[in-house]
Amino acid sequence: MAEKRMTDGSMALQEKKYRVITIEATEKPKDVKLRVAAYARVSSASDDQLNSFAAQNQYYASLISSKENWSMVDIYADEGITGTSAEKRDDFQRLLTDCRRGLIDRVLVKSISRFARNTKECLEAIRELKSLGVGVCFEKENIDTATMSGEMMTALFASFAQAESESISGNMRWSYQRRMQSGTFLPSSVPYGYRICNRQIVIDEEEAKVVRRIFMDYLAGINMAEIAASLNRMGVPKRKGNAEIFWHKTTIRYMLSNERYVGDSLWQKTYMTDAFPPVMVRNRGEKEMYYAEATHPAIITKEEFDAVQMLLGQRAKREVCPENRSPFDQKVFCGQCGTSFRKKVSHGKVFWSCRKHNEDIQSCPVTQVPDAEIRRAFLRLHYNLKIHGEAILTQMLNSLQAIRNRRMLWSLDVIELNKQISELTSQNQMLAALKEQGLIDPDFFISQNNELTEQLRTAKLKKERLLVADGDSTIAQTRELMEILDAGPDFLNDFDAELFGELIDRIIVDSSEQLRFRLKNGLELLEIIERTVR
């Protein structure tokens, strides 16, 4: 009976019906518009390409505005730069940043070759965007990366684009080589004092006056730092139209040693590596160089130029400090106790020793270091910096800029400019919508569109200048170090006190066998003391 009751109870539970009440939503979800952005790029700064650049902006503004379920976020556009590396494209990086912030659902691009010419960077960007829920639509290839097959096709087309870019790059390098050999090569840029007109290098008389003054002042005994300070006091711009008007000693040094000012040209001082994307490096004998005479008008006579080179050599060998002073004064510190080192002369030889160690041997274990060994260590450091320093400092500079950009992302001034850019973009969108509906005259549309485009460029330029101006001083110091190394000699036969002062902030002696050179930007590099005399 008990078993029967249990079975009946189970059946009753199974047959029991529950009353379910459906509660209607108080607010129906509204149609959510797709947030769409466009990316456009032209690969050169020629007039035709710039027209194409403007046309792409107008095209995407009209296209996105014509779709009822689309909302335009922004049109990201880079102009006048190469597409082989994504790092050089500021608006491309801005696009990725806005996607990471969740502001964009879809990105429109004319073709894969406009998006990237590097398969690796192309797929990395696409995969990251896909992980963020952002699809990329390539119009020419009719590819939507939201589908897996689309990504596979993207790899194929990107490979084609990379092969095309490598082929174009190889052909251009071959062409440059032949023109250098024949003496008909025309560089894409010319030094201060010159400009290119009708495919000829001509003298810019206003800038040439400054060049002549620099050479004459140096021959008159004025040092490079004083020359730069004088030009800055007078407000002389480094280049017409350049908002950066500051002159540096390294700039003066480079100009004084530039053969271009006597009308000659040394070509292939730098070259592009065969790796993809190619990287520009200094030619230290890996490639041929070509010296051509009288390739353009001279600003300085050869006699003046030769006299300056002789003076540069003499001053490089001569210490700028008085005889009773040393370039290491107040520069050498103990790595154990932090005390500054003092100079000692013993048996005709100069040493540097820890003050605390001299007072009490037990208080600090760091003993004295020969002056000659510090100088030799600096020569080795300089050589290593010339060979490997560019890659190290470039990596450091990129890291510092990334940190600065993240810090500035929520700056009040930057936010205000972002709002201004957003408002101008919305006005551009509305203008495109009115044109699409035939409500405004085409001529009026063109004039207003051009005005808004110019305002957008101005706002973006202000934002970039603000980011640069507010950047860590370490960034400026790192750039200056790179300029000093680039303009300086490839190899030092003797200790150069002036160059030491430009590069080194302090020397830290960890032990009698080990030094640390702290560069002006705070980077510390280790050097082992190779003693010849104990």
* Phi-psi sector, 28: left (phi>0), alpha (psi -120 to 50), beta: beta
pLDDT at 472 over 70: no
Distance between CA atoms of residues 519 and 310, nearest Å: 29
Which residue reads 């005994």 in tokens?
A: 221
For range 356-381, the mean pLDDT: 87
pLDDT band for position 528 (cuts 50, 70, 90)? confident
Q: Check residue 127 and give its pLDDT.
A: 78
Q: Check residue 533 and give its pLDDT.
A: 44
For range 339-360, the mean pLDDT: 86
More confident residue, 534 or 134: 134
pLDDT at 507 over 90: yes
Look at the chain and count its residues: 534
Q: Check residue 355 and give its pLDDT.
A: 85
Distance between CA atoms of residues 211 and 236, nearest Å: 11
For range 479-483, the mean pLDDT: 81
- Among 210, 190, 211, which residue's Cα sits nearest to residue 200? 190
pLDDT at 395 over 90: no
Distance between CA atoms of residues 161 and 157, nearest Å: 6
Q: Check residue 162 and give its pLDDT.
A: 56
Give pLDDT tens digits for 255-274.
Answer: 898 888 988 877 666 655 55
Take residue 241 and report the two structure tokens written for it: 């139209």
- Among 112, 111, 54, 113, which residue's Cα sits nearest to residue 79? 54
Dihedral, CA of residue 198, residue 199, residue 204 and residue 205, to nearest 10? -70
Give pLDDT tens digits for 318-329.
Answer: 544 445 578 888
For 52-70, give the secondary structure using H, E and C: HHHHHHHHHHHHHHHCCCE
Take residue 512 and report the two structure tokens written for it: 């009698």
Tell me the whole-structure pTM to 2 decimals: 0.39
Long-range contacts (CB closer than 8 Å, 24 or more residues apart) made by 415-419:
417/459, 417/462, 417/463, 417/466, 418/463
For range 103-118, the mean pLDDT: 81
DSSP class of residue 361 equals G
Distance between CA atoms of residues 411 and 386, nearest Å: 37
Give pLDDT tens digits for 36-76.
Answer: 999 987 654 444 554 566 677 778 888 888 888 888 888 88
Distance between CA atoms of residues 257 and 252, nearest Å: 9
Please classify residue 300 by burial: count the beta carbons closer than 10 Å to its beta carbon, then call 0-12 exposed, 13-18 middle and 19+ buried.
buried
Give pLDDT tens digits for 397-449.
Answer: 777 767 666 655 556 676 777 778 878 877 777 777 777 777 777 777 787 87
In DSSP terms, which residues pair with 524 in a beta bridge?
A: 518
